[in-house]
Amino acid sequence: MTENTQRVSTPRLLDRRDERVAHADTIGGMIGAFVDRVRAGDLGSLPVVVGLLIICTAFQSLNPVFLAPDNLVNLLFDCSTVGVISLGIVCILMVGEIDLSVGSVSGFSSALVGVLWVNQDWPVAVAIVAALGLGAAIGGLYAFLFNRLGMPSFVSTLSGLLAWLGLQLYLLGSSGSINLPYGSPLVNFGQMLVMPPVVSYALAALAGVIVFATGYRMAARRRAAGLSASSLGGLLLKGALVVIVLEFVVYYLNLARGVPWMFGLFVGLCVVMNYALKRTKWGRSMSAVGGNREAARRAGINVRRIHASAFMLCSTLAAAGGILAAARLASSSQQAGTGDVNLNAIAAAVIGGTSLFGGRGSAYSALLGIIVIQSIASGLTLLDLSSSLRYMITGAVLAVAVIVDSLARRSRVSHGRA
Amino acid sequence: MSTISDLDHPQQTQGEPVLSLRGISKNFGAVSALTDVDLDVHAGEVVALVGDNGAGKSTLVKILAGVHQPTSGTIAFDGEHVALSDPATALGLGIATVFQDLALCENLDVVANIFLGRELNPVRLDEVSMEIRAWTLLNELSARIPSVREPVASLSGGQRQTVAIARSLLTEPKLILLDEPTAALGVAQTAEVLDLIERVRARGLGVIVISHNMEDVRAVADRIVVLRLGRNNGEFGPDVSNQDLVTAITGADENSVSRRANRRGAQRSREVRP
């Protein structure tokens, strides 16, 4: 009875009137809700964290250099190039399509920058803009083939994979590779430039402050509007955790060279993309198109334009990744963008938790996924394993990731969380 | 105000109709899907549109939703002649349609679905205002939705129907078309949706319901309009007998439904007699 009187006396919030729903308001409740979500197959980034822990323990026990700050800084440099490409893959997977040609597009754009900048003596900025523009044009072409001619993206981008590779080889000609000048800003950016310690510490702190401030403002607005809101304590805890974790990472990296600017650029792109996908009408439309294309069309969303934006963003980011890769290697070569670049980019997005079936994903999955992939690559290189073994192991990890994704998807469907 | 006052409505005394169709015909090539169909819907009135498969119900709904254009005939909405050239025009005038498959995105939550394509503040989504509006709409419909922040995939069929109807009410329409709203629902959920239709009527909207279920139709409709082979085939009040309704729908006293009923009746009386 006492419980009943209490229930009556407290005024109910607008979204808490239905008594059938359990709401997690306390920290214990939050943990319980998290466990329930995971059980139902809404794994979020849990598999990545678990996978990273396994990878780190395994490689660290095999070779203690693996977790050394120097190796991690190198790892972050390597992450950024394919990571940017993977960010584009997240975009295209959101609408339920695929781009198999990102590797070739990145190789083509690195070749283009080499030819225009080194061979033709164009200013480097103009060469970069030209490469990015051509990347966007390639995406536009895929969008045209998809929207107007009904060509499945799988096929159009598969033929693109060959075509742009051919163009890359043609551009590079008989020499096969162009060396980018050492000491130039682009190559420095790709190989050496790191944030001064002060800047990196400040950025890490700023991230926590932003997490707290946005959460606090949202909570205040919700409370003012009579909706339930997260507690101040929870928000403080969240912000503090972000600051502590990031500051520790930054401190550890600063024991070696420090945080690469290139990685900073990649993370910055992830943050911007996350905002665009989560907090704008465009992002909402992307999820809607990926979830139910016909429903999106009937809701008045211009589905063709959304597809076009996804294709163009994907290949523009692929071109950007190619330029970063050229900067990282200080050369534009025939090997750029070939081999496992394509699959690593797609695998990173999927491992990070973006669904292959459309409608579910996050920009941060590119960040998490590429760290996993690059850790494996780096660990296997440290163990001096041949590339044959590296390919097999990376392939197995990708298979496991996709299996986890489809099992989780099945579980989500049966728990009504599709 | 009285542009169409010369039209007489024997069964209606509620004033001017919100929607008035006169002589609507629609041909698909050599097939005439609709011939000379008349239909009136008043504010605060539920009109049920019944008919057999191929009677032209869906074609009529698609014309009203702006998906198809009539070959001939006039459509008057709020007393003015209008051309429903595309879905956006129909929606803009205040005709909202809830299609049979609901067209919801299962991966998005209830708020996102209700506001899909009409989000507030495109470059910085105003989630708080959207959530409040969503709750207001759902509460007005006395909807029992546990949480508007759960993906639609976790909702039951009746709850999804509710979300779809709430979504159509967002644009403050004057007329709402429901295509088979109870087709896929269980007993309790059907009752919920019928309640929902009554609440929509109580808000002063005109409602057109398409249904195959005679029970549901008689339970909720103020007027039942029968289409048969693309033509008007009678108008009934809610107290019409099932027999009359089936006769109007199939076009004959002697039909498969009545034959089956007779057979069952005879069988039962045989079983009872000994």
Q: Does B148 touch chain A (CB under 8 A)?
A: yes
Predicted local distance difference test score (pLDDT) of residue A388? 84
For chain A, percent of residues with pLDDT exceeding 70: 92
Which of residues B127 and A24 earns the better pLDDT score? Answer: B127
Is pLDDT above 60 for A137?
yes
Single-letter code of the amino acid located at A63: N
pLDDT tens string A38-63: 777 677 677 778 888 988 999 999 98
Q: Which tokens go with A152?
A: 């499945």
Residue A138 makes CB contacts below 8 A (sequence gap 6+) with A101, A105, A160, A164, A315, A319
* pLDDT score, position A12: 66
CB contact under 8 A, A281 and B122: yes
| Predicted ipTM of the assembly | 0.85
Per-residue confidence at A278, pLDDT binned at 50, 70, 90? very high
CB contact under 8 A, A15 and B131: yes
A356 pLDDT more than 70: yes
Is residue A367 within 8 A of residue A267, CB to CB? The reply is yes
A15 touches chain B (CB under 8 A): yes
pLDDT at A302 over 80: yes
Q: Which residues in chain B are contacts of A286 at CB distance < 8 A?
A: none
State residue A285 phi and psi, 5-degree precision: -65, -35
What is the model's pLDDT at position B171?
A: 85
Q: Give the nearest chain A residue to B101 (CA atoms).
A: A295
How confident is the model at residue A23, as a pLDDT?
63
Q: Specify the pLDDT at position B271.
A: 67
Average pLDDT over residues A165-177: 89
* DSSP reduced 3-state for B42: strand
Alpha carbons A379 and A58: distance in angstroms, whole number: 9
Out of B104, B117, B146, closest to residue A18 by CB: B146
Question: Is pLDDT larger for residue A399 or for residue B113?
Answer: B113
Closest-CA distance, B13 to chain A, in angstroms, reads: 36
The residue ranges of DSSP E strands in chain B, in sequence order, are 17-28, 31-42, 46-51, 72-77, 80-82, 95-98, 175-179, 206-210, 223-228, 231-236
pLDDT at B209: 92
Per-residue pLDDT for A11 more than 50? yes
Least CA distance to B128: which residue of chain A?
A222
> Which chain A residues are closer than 8 Å to B102 by Cβ?
295
Residue A308: Cβ within 10 Å count: 18
| pTM (predicted TM-score) | 0.85
Neighboring chain A residues of B103 at a CB cutoff of 8 Å: 292, 294-295, 298-299
Give me the pLDDT at residue A19, please.
Answer: 60
**What pLDDT, on the 0 to 100 scale, is given for residue B182?**
83
pLDDT at A135: 96
Contact A281 B145 (CB under 8 A): no
Render A336-368 in DSSP notation, one character per residue. TT-TTHHHHHHHHHHHTT--TTSS---HHHHHH
Q: What is the pLDDT along chain B (274 residues), one digit of tens a residue?
A: 333 333 334 444 456 889 999 999 999 888 888 999 999 999 999 999 998 888 888 889 889 988 889 999 999 998 889 998 888 788 889 999 888 887 899 999 999 999 998 898 888 999 999 999 999 888 887 777 888 888 898 888 888 888 998 898 888 899 999 988 888 777 877 888 888 889 889 888 999 999 888 888 888 999 999 998 888 888 888 888 888 888 888 877 667 777 777 787 777 777 665 5
Tell which wins on pLDDT, A281 or A30. Answer: A281
pLDDT at B6: 38
**Mean predicted lDDT score pLDDT of chain A:** 88
Instruction: Please give the average per-residue pLDDT across A27-38, as a whole number.
Output: 74
Identify whether the C-beta of residue A322 lies closer than 8 Å to the C-beta of residue A108.
yes
8 Å CB contact of B107 and A290: yes
Structural tokens at position B74: 């006039």
* Tokens coding A197: 């310690």
Q: Which residues contact B82 (CB under 8 A, 6 or more apart)?
A: B75, B76, B89, B93
- pLDDT at residue A313, as a whole number: 97
Mean pLDDT (whole number) for A276-280:
94
pLDDT, greater one: A61 or A2:
A61
Give the Cα separation of B89 and B86 in Å (integer).
Answer: 5
Test B88 with A300 for CB contact under 8 angstroms.
Answer: yes
**Residue with the larger pLDDT of the pair A376 and A175:** A376
Question: A399 vs A315, which has greater pLDDT?
Answer: A315
A-B contacts (CB, under 8 Å) = 105
- Detail the DSSP E strand segments found in B100-236: 175-179, 206-210, 223-228, 231-236
Chain A residue with the nearest C-alpha to that of B156: A416
Higher pLDDT, residue A130 or A356: A130
* Range 324-363 of A in CB contact (< 8 A) with B: 359-360
Q: Is A280 helix (H, G, I), strand (E, B) or coil?
A: coil
Split at pLDDT 50, 70, 90, the class of A307 is very high
Please indicate whether, in this complex, the C-beta atoms of A292 and B104 are within 8 angstroms of each other. yes
Distance of residue A18 Cα from the nearest chain B Cα, in angstroms? 6
Of the pLDDT bands very low, low, confident and very high (cuts 50, 70, 90), residue A18 is low
Interface probe, candidates A14, A228, A356, chain B, greatest B C-beta count within 10 A: A14
Residues of A in contact with B151 (CB under 8 A): 417-418
Distance from CA of B161 to the nearest CA of A (A): 14
Mean pLDDT across A6-31: 62
Question: Among A214, A216, A272, A284, which would you mutate to test the B interface (most chain B Cβ atoms within 10 Å of its Cβ)?
Answer: A284
**Banded model confidence at residue A75, pLDDT cuts 50, 70, 90:** very high
Q: How far apart are CA A104 and CA A107, in angstroms?
A: 5
Would you tell me which residues 261-300 of chain A have a C-beta closer than 8 angstroms to some C-beta of chain B? 279-282, 284-285, 287-288, 290-292, 294-296, 298-300
pLDDT at A199 over 90: yes
